[in-house]
Structure formats: structure tokens, C-alpha cells
Amino acid sequence: MLWLYIAAVGAGGLLGLLRLRVLAVLAVSVILVAISVVWMTFQQWPLSGAAINVFTLLATLQFSYLVALVLCSAWSRSASRTLLGASTRRT
């Protein structure tokens, strides 16, 4: 089950760094839910444990997406400020 969390963090981070929008995150969320439901049915998890685990996986995906998106925005703003500052000093 740990591999699902690692996949959720990786997918969310990749989507955030690529600045993909809601549709891509929704598609990955649906795929993640489908995989986890099939896996938990195969392992015969109780319904309450499976539901909590699915919500935790989705929260992990969303959080990693937001963190990567914020970091990507911060890096691009930092780069543009550096370039803007360098160009104003030369003139």
C-alpha cells in the first residue's frame, strides 16, 4: 500500500511542476481511486478502512500538487525578478 502513496506524491508533484490544471488532477484522482478500490477489494479491506485510505490518498495527491505548484510559481517569479533586476541595472 505504500507504493500507492509514493505514486500519489510523485504524480501530484509532477502535475504541479508541469503546471497542469484541474482536468489532469481530476483524471489522476479517478485513476488513483480506481486502482485503490480494486486493490482493497482484492485484499478484502473493511469498508471504513478502505474509505479512509482512499481519502488519505486523494489528500496526499492534492497536497503534493499544491506544494509543487507553489514551488514552481516561486521559482519562476524568482527567476523573472532576477532577470528584471539585472536588466534595470545595466540601463
pLDDT digits (tens, 9 = 90+) for 3-59: 889 999 999 999 888 887 888 899 999 999 999 999 999 999 899 998 999 999 999
Cβ neighbours around 87 below 10 Å, total = 9
Say if residues 40 and 53 touch (Cβ distance below 8 Å). Answer: yes
Q: What is the DSSP letter of 46?
A: -
- 20 φ, ψ (degrees, to nearest 5): -80, 155
Task: For the chain, give every domain's residue range.
Answer: 2-90
pLDDT digits (tens, 9 = 90+) for 12-24: 999 888 887 888 8
Q: How far apart are CA 72 and CA 69, in angstroms?
A: 5
Q: How far is CA 18 from CA 27, 49, 70, 76, 82, in A?
A: 15, 33, 11, 12, 22
**Per-residue pLDDT at 82 exceeds 80:** no
More confident residue, 91 or 18: 18
pLDDT grade for 1, boundaries at 50, 70 and 90: confident
